[in-house]
């Protein structure tokens, strides 16, 4: 088979890869990513030059304050916590081809791995955008600010709602536009997902939330008594509920805006009289 050649480069905020059969463009500021093939209609199933995204766990979960019963890393429970060192991270990073655009860091608590922010800074300095998912615990305004300076996106899992919602407000107030909720969807957590949708529509702390991502439960932890939510009718009911709530929210926003504009117009009219 003939070996293909690729050109990987950067132009302003954009990183790109060009080759005859596979091309991509990634905007490091907005997160926009597009891949295509020989023609714009082609949708290559995989990257022949190396991965576009790296999902990296940098700590085991032995000491995580989340204590989630469904923790996918719980198989390490009872063992000593292990943190990836900065040197280990650099050695892994250097082994990856330049095709990499983003790293999704899997952490435990925000402070579990003392080298976490240093690793993210290193990735960014080398043209790869860091993102992470946290449990919402121990987030401060300083951490939120630092995150908005380094990261493209951040996801907050709903472990303790109050902490998670406060963390989302801190992230979005510090300028993060790509701040998402990660919700673990299982048969056991299905009903509460509707409550979360209601709260997103009503809680001002979540006004600038980008998205809620429903993660299908994967039975990795042998001790956990959870079941994947695989019934398509139940899934579609949740999606429809989400759409209805969002429509109501948009309508309320439009009504408030119209009221505000008409009050403004009335004031201008009076001022001109």
Residues that bind ligand SF4 (CB under 6 A): 61, 64, 66-68, 71, 73, 108, 135, 157, 159
Closer of 112 and 148 to ligand SF4 (Cβ): 112
Closer of 99 and 131 to ligand SF4 (Cβ): 131
User: First CA to last CA across the chain, in angstroms?
Assistant: 81
Compute the distance between CA of residue 90 and CA of residue 119 in angstroms, rounded to an integer. Answer: 8
CB 108, min distance to ligand SF4, A: 5
CB 251 within 8 A of CB 244: no
Compute the distance between CA of residue 147 and CA of residue 134 in angstroms, rounded to an integer. Answer: 11
CB 69, min distance to ligand SF4, A: 9
CB 50, min distance to ligand SF4, A: 28
CB 61, min distance to ligand SF4, A: 4
Closer of 28 and 137 to ligand SF4 (Cβ): 137
Q: For ligand SF4, which residue has the nearest CB?
A: 66
CB 83, min distance to ligand SF4, A: 13
Closer of 167 and 201 to ligand SF4 (Cβ): 167
Closer of 25 and 215 to ligand SF4 (Cβ): 215
The position carrying tokens 């709903």 is: 158
């Amino acid at each position: 088979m003939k070996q293909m050649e690729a050109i990987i480069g950067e132009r302003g905020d954009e990183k790109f890869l060009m080759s005859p059969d596979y091309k991509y463009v990634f905007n490091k500021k907005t997160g926009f990513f597009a891949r295509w093939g020989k023609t714009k209609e082609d949708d290559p199933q995989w990257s022949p030059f190396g991965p576009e995204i790296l999902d990296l766990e940098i700590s085991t979960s032995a000491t995580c304050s989340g204590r989630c019963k469904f923790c996918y890393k719980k198989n390490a429970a009872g063992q000593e916590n292990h943190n990836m060192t900065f040197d280990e991270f650099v050695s892994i990073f250097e082994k990856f081809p330049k095709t990499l655009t983003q790293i999704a860091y899997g952490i435990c608590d925000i402070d579990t791995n003392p080298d976490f922010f240093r690793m993210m800074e290193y990735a960014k300095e080398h043209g790869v955008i860091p993102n992470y998912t946290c449990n919402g615990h121990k987030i401060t305004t300083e951490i939120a600010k630092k995150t908005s300076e380094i990261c493209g996106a951040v996801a907050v899992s709903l472990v303790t709602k109050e902490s998670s919602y406060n963390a989302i407000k801190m992230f979005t107030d510090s300028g993060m536009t790509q701040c998402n909720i990660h919700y673990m969807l299982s048969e056991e957590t299905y009903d509460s997902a509707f409550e979360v949708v209601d709260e997103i529509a009503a809680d001002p702390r979540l006004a600038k939330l980008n998205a809620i991502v429903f993660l299908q439960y994967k039975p990795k932890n042998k001790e956990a008594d959870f079941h994947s939510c695989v019934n398509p009718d139940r899934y579609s009911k949740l999606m429809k509920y989400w759409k209805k709530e969002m429509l109501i929210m948009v309508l309320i926003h439009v009504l408030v805006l119209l009221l505000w504009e008409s009050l403004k117009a009335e004031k201008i009219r009076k001022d001109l009289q």
